[in-house]
Structure 1
């Protein structure tokens, strides 16, 4: 089975159904079939299916989720396609390297990979980018940098196909000495508990917690932790939370 079967293209908040159809066509021309929709503004219509031009199966099979977190919960690698620099600081890749990294990761046993594309006018929000491990930037002409959604999908689908054809699937990296890598949902659970713990121990001392959490998210995502490592960290956090509660209950 090709690594590309473990790569999904996620469209978030798409405003025009026709763009979804065109994206489905772009994917199918490159041998990709896993289209996922997150909270599209309008349901699929006749225009969407007409613009899919032979990729009606890709369009018809696309699941719809309410949130991006749900759509990528089982993924080990999430790449957010963004046109400009944001406050969320992610390692940024050019399309060719992004395709290679995606296919390499998808070649690992049980690994799922997602490319995420935002709204036509505004792209991905900072909150949505925080759910991504890496950013992908298509270096278009800065004097006319607006790239159509389907065109962006076509570029990334092409790079994924080229990586597959070139046989650039690398041997799976050892994670935790053969332990299963943590899923996206497991990492998000860790980040939620970490944020709660830092609040309970008054780590931020009145400062805004967003900056610290962004840096901690990057740190842990780079580590590519296993399920066991995430459980270990969550156990440590649970003990820290328990101690914080006990300290708060002590009489003055």
Structure 2
């Protein structure tokens, strides 16, 4: 049973990627790799690192250098998470709009639940050493994740934070496997905090949602509900709403169709071709 649990844990953790944004110190990349390998997480995506490659990465990886060849380099955070279904943005402070916020342990449990039940791809995003993630970057996440540190000295190096998060992810996976609750034969959707139900459509990816939001905002502009010169917090609040819901494919296509119909009607270009004749 232990070998089976370890195998399932390895499979589950293979759906998780660590994303580091604009990392300045190469040593932090190497230390992150070392932290990841100890917890059997192997996917690292670097978003526009300041210095890469660098000897310090190899030196600090110390036994995890095999993961260096697996590193993916991208230019934007959107690219890093485009095929993910669930994204956690790490944050140590409150923002303009409160986002759904989870401590690292329940966040890890949620991530593994979605992996085991839906086979979702999950990203955990870490920001710059000096200032973390921007509000715009955090708005790309479904949830914000925080580590409950000492309030009098809440200072964590980014590699240390990655170690803590990876540990919690591994423990969540081991707990699920040992309890034999993993069931990949049916796809379930969290309806409430207490109940799941069998779901008939896959959830959409972040890439699809990054096409959804501009379409929705353009539709709202066309009907003069959103002022593009003074949008205030409306786009951000809508992103929070739909990020929390997690649309499935059918719902996504339905809403995109509604947006297109509303736009066509607002422009006077929609024609109802239904002739209402019975066959």
Structure 1: how far apart are the matches of 2:78 and 2:263? 25
Q: Quote the residue 1:250 is aligned against.
A: none
Structure 1 residues 205, 30: closer, same or farther in 2, change over 3 A? closer
Deviation, structure 1 residue 208 = 3.2
Deviation, structure 1 residue 143 = 2.3
Q: Quote the residue 1:29 is aligned against.
A: 38
Alignment of 1:88-167 (within 5 A): 88-167=97-176
Whether contact under 8 Å (2:217, 2:226) holds in the other structure is no
Q: Does 1:228 pair with 2:243?
A: no
Q: Cα deviation per residue 1:61-94 (whole Å; 9 max; x = unaligned)?
A: 1100100111101111000111111124211111
Mean CA deviation greater in 3-12 or 53-62: 53-62
Q: Does 1:44 pair with 2:53?
A: yes
Structure 1: how far apart are the matches of 2:149 and 2:208? 35
Structure 2: how far apart are the matches of 1:39 and 1:206? 29
Whether contact under 8 Å (2:37, 2:64) holds in the other structure is yes
Q: Please list every run of at least 4 consecutive aligned residues from structure 1 whose deviation after the TM superposition is greater than 4 angstroms.
A: 168-172
CA RMSD of aligned residues (A): 1.9
Equivalenced residues, count: 247
Q: Cα deviation per residue 1:22-51 (whole Å; 9 max; x = unaligned)?
A: 000000001111111111011121111100
Q: Does 1:72 pair with 2:81?
A: yes
Q: Does 1:201 pair with 2:210?
A: no
- What is the SS of the residue equivalent to 1:41? coil
- What is the SS of the residue equivalent to 2:19? strand
Deviation, structure 1 residue 205 = 5.5
Structure 1 residues 206, 124: closer, same or farther in 2, change over 3 A? closer
Structure 2: how far apart are the matches of 1:83 and 1:203? 34
Q: Does 1:211 pair with 2:233?
A: yes
Structure 1: runs of 5 or more not aligned: 248-252
Q: Does 1:57 pair with 2:69?
A: no
Q: Does 1:181 pair with 2:190?
A: no
Structure 1 residues 13, 238: closer, same or farther in 2, change over 3 A? same
Deviation, structure 1 residue 144 = 1.9
Deviation, structure 1 residue 113 = 0.2
